[in-house]
């Protein structure tokens, strides 16, 4: 179901880079893992966003204390923007 929805969702303008980043990650995640639960997808995307933030220098802001949990809301929002909110998974 996730794979079918990814192939039919409309492309977003390039100005919405975080959504495009999320879409690319979700495509790779689904290709590597096949079907997944909504919670597993959210956790994986949150981890990915956390790692990107650390790479971009967020380590200086002590985000490591909260870890990927800090990015769950952003992950859920990104998934809703690409048409993969929990209600659609």
Please write the tens of the pLDDT for every residue from 15-72.
445 558 888 898 899 889 887 788 999 999 999 999 988 888 877 777 878 889 999 9
pLDDT band at 73 (very low <50, low <70, confident <90, very high): very high
d(CA 69, CA 50): 8
Of 22, 14, 4, 13, the residue nearest 82 (C-alpha): 22
What value does the mean pLDDT take over residues 73-88?
79
Contact between residue 63 and residue 25 where contact means Cβ atoms under 8 Å apart: no
Q: What is the pLDDT of residue 4?
A: 42
Contact between residue 82 and residue 19 where contact means Cβ atoms under 8 Å apart: yes
Angular region, 10: left φ>0, alpha ψ -120 to 50, beta rest:
beta
Give phi and psi for 67, each to the nearest 5: 70, -160
State if pTM tops 0.75: no
């Amino acid at each position: 179901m996730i794979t079918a929805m990814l192939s039919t969702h409309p492309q977003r303008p390039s100005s919405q880079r975080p959504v495009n980043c999320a879409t690319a990650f979700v495509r790779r995640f689904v290709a590597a893992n096949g079907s997944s639960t909504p919670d597993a997808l959210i956790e994986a995307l949150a981890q990915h966003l956390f790692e990107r933030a650390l790479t971009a220098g967020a380590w200086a802001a002590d985000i490591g204390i909260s870890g990927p949990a800090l990015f769950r809301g952003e992950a859920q929002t990104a998934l809703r923007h690409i048409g993969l909110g929990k209600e659609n998974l």
